[in-house]
C-alpha cells in the first residue's frame, strides 16, 4: 500500500506492460520512452487542430483564441477570475456533497430493502426525469435568489446518477458471495464493509463520474438565476455587454473544470478498484 507511488503511477506503465518486457539496451529504452510521450500527446491533437483552425478563421461574431486568452489574463490579473471560479467551485462541491450523500443513502436503502425499493423507486424515477429548467420558478419561490437554490439544483442533479448506480451496484452483487458471507457468519456491519460496499463500488464510481459532469451542468443553469458571483454570473454579465471574449472564456473554463473532475474520477477508480485487473495502473510487483 505505498500510496504515493501508486497514486503517482503514470499511465505509461500500463503501456509499458504491452511492449515486450525485455528492458534491454539504452537505445531501446529511449525509443520506448519516446513512444510513450507520443501516446500521451495523441488525445491533445484534436483540441490543438481545432484551436489553430479557430485562430485562422477570423470572424466578427467569434473572438479569436488569442483574444480569449487576453481576456482571461486581464481577469486573472485583477483577481476577479479566481474569485468567480472559487464561488462556483464552492457551490458545486457543497451541492455534490449533499446530493451525493442523499443519492448514496437512498441507493443503499433501496438496494438492501425490497420493500423500500418498491415504495420509493417509482417516485424517484419520476422526479429524475423533470428538467432542471422547469424547476427554476419553483426554486426561486422556495429558496429566493440566494445560495440555497443553486446548491439545491446541483444537489438534485448529482443525487440521481449516484442513487441509480449505487442501487444497481448493490442489486448486482454476486449472490454467491452473499451466501458465502452467511455461511461464514459475517455480522451485518461486516457484510456491508466486506461484501456489499466494495462489491457495489465499481458501479458507484461510474455514478460519481456521471455526477461530476452533471454537477457543472446543473451549476450553469443555477447560476443564470440572479447571481452576484460565479462563472455563470460572469457569462451572463458579459452577454449583456456583448463581451464575446469573456463569454467564450467562461465556456472554456467550464470545459477545463469538467475535464479536471473527470480526472479526479479516473484517479478514484484506479485507487479504489486496484483489485480489478481492468483498473490496475501499476504492473504487479
Partner 1 sequence: MSISITIDQYSKSFGDNSVLRDLNLDIPAGQFVALVGKSGCGKSTLLRSVAGLEEATGGRVLLDDQHITKPHEQLRIMFQDDRLLPWRSVLQNVAITATDHDRAVESLQAVGLADKVDQWPASLSGGQRQRVALARALASSPEVILFDEPLGALDALTRLEMQRLIEGLWQQRGFTSLLVTHDVGEAVSFADRVIVLADGGIALDLEIDLPRPRLRDPAFLAHENTLLDAILHEPERSHS
Residue 83 or 194: the one with the smaller Cβ distance to partner 1 is: 194
Integer Cα distance of 258 and 134 in angstroms: 24
Please answer whether residues 203 and 168 qualify as being in contact, where contact means their C-beta atoms are separated by less than 8 angstroms.
yes
CB of 88 or CB of 166, closer to partner 1: 166
User: Nearest CA to 219 among 90, 79, 75?
Assistant: 90
24 C-beta neighbours (distance < 10 Å), count: 10
Q: Which positions touch partner 1 (CB under 8 A)?
A: 176-177, 179-180, 182-186, 190, 194-195, 198-199, 201, 273-277, 284
Shortest Cβ 182–partner 1 spacing (Å): 6
Q: CB 176 → partner 1: shortest distance, Å?
A: 6
- First vs last Cα of the chain: how many Å apart? 12
Cβ neighbours of residue 88 closer than 8 Å, sequence gap 6 or more: 219, 223, 230, 231, 232, 257
CA separation for the pair 198, 164 (Å, rounded): 16
Distance CA 89, CA 49 (A): 29
Q: Would you say 120 and 110 are in contact if contact means Cβ atoms under 8 Å apart? A: yes
Q: Which residue, 79 or 277, has its beta carbon nearer to partner 1?
A: 277
**Residue number, 67 or 194, with CB nearest to partner 1:** 194
Q: How far is the CB of 140 from partner 1 (least distance, A)?
A: 45
In this complex, which beta carbon is closest to partner 1, that of residue 17 or of residue 122? 17
Task: Between 58 and 176, name the residue whose CB sits nearer to partner 1.
Answer: 176
Q: How far is the CB of 277 from partner 1 (least distance, A)?
A: 5
**Closer of 121 and 194 to partner 1 (Cβ):** 194
Q: DSSP letter string over 128-188? A: HTS-HHHHHHHHHHHHTTSHHHHHHHHHHHHHHHHHHHHHHHHHTS-HHHHHHHHHTT--H
Q: Give CA–CA dist 210/205, Å, rounded.
A: 9
Least spacing, CB of residue 275 vs partner 1, in Å: 4
Amino acid at each position: 500500500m505505498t500510496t504515493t507511488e501508486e497514486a503517482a503511477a503514470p499511465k505509461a506503465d500500463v503501456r509499458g506492460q504491452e511492449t515486450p518486457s525485455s528492458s534491454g539496451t539504452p537505445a531501446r529504452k529511449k525509443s520506448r520512452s519516446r513512444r510513450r510521450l507520443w501516446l500521451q500527446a495523441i488525445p491533445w491533437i484534436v483540441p490543438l487542430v481545432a484551436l489553430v483552425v479557430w485562430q485562422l478563421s477570423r470572424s466578427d461574431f467569434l473572438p479569436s483564441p488569442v483574444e480569449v486568452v487576453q481576456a482571461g489574463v486581464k481577469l486573472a490579473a485583477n483577481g476577479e477570475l479566481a474569485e468567480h471560479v472559487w464561488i462556483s467551485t464552492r457551490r458545486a462541491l457543497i451541492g455534490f456533497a449533499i446530493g451525493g450523500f442523499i443519492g448514496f443513502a437512498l441507493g443503499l436503502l433501496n438496494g438492501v430493502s425490497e420493500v423500500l425499493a418498491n415504495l420509493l423507486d417509482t417516485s424517484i424515477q419520476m422526479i429524475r426525469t423533470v428538467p432542471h429548467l422547469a424547476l427554476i420558478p419553483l426554486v426561486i419561490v422556495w429558496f429566493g435568489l440566494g445560495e440555497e437554490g443553486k446548491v439545491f439544483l446541483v444537489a438534485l442533479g448529482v443525487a440521481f446518477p449516484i442513487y441509480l448506480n449505487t442501487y444497481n451496484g448493490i442489486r448486482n452483487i454476486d449472490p454467491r458471495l452473499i451466501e458465502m458471507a452467511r455461511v461464514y457468519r459475517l455480522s451485518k456491519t461486516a457484510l456491508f464493509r466486506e461484501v456489499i460496499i466494495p462489491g457495489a463500488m465499481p458501479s458507484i464510481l461510474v455514478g460519481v463520474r456521471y455526477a461530476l459532469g452533471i454537477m457543472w451542468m446543473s451549476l450553469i443553469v443555477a447560476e443564470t438565476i440572479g447571481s452576484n458571483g460565479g462563472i455563470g454570473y460572469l457569462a451572463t454579465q458579459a452577454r449583456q455587454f456583448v463581451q464575446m471574449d469573456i463569454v467564450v472564456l467562461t465556456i472554456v473554463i467550464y470545459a477545463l473544470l469538467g475535464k479536471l473532475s473527470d480526472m479526479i474520477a479516473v484517479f478514484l477508480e484506479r485507487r479504489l478498484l486496484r483489485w480489478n485487473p481492468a483498473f490496475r495502473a501499476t504492473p504487479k510487483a
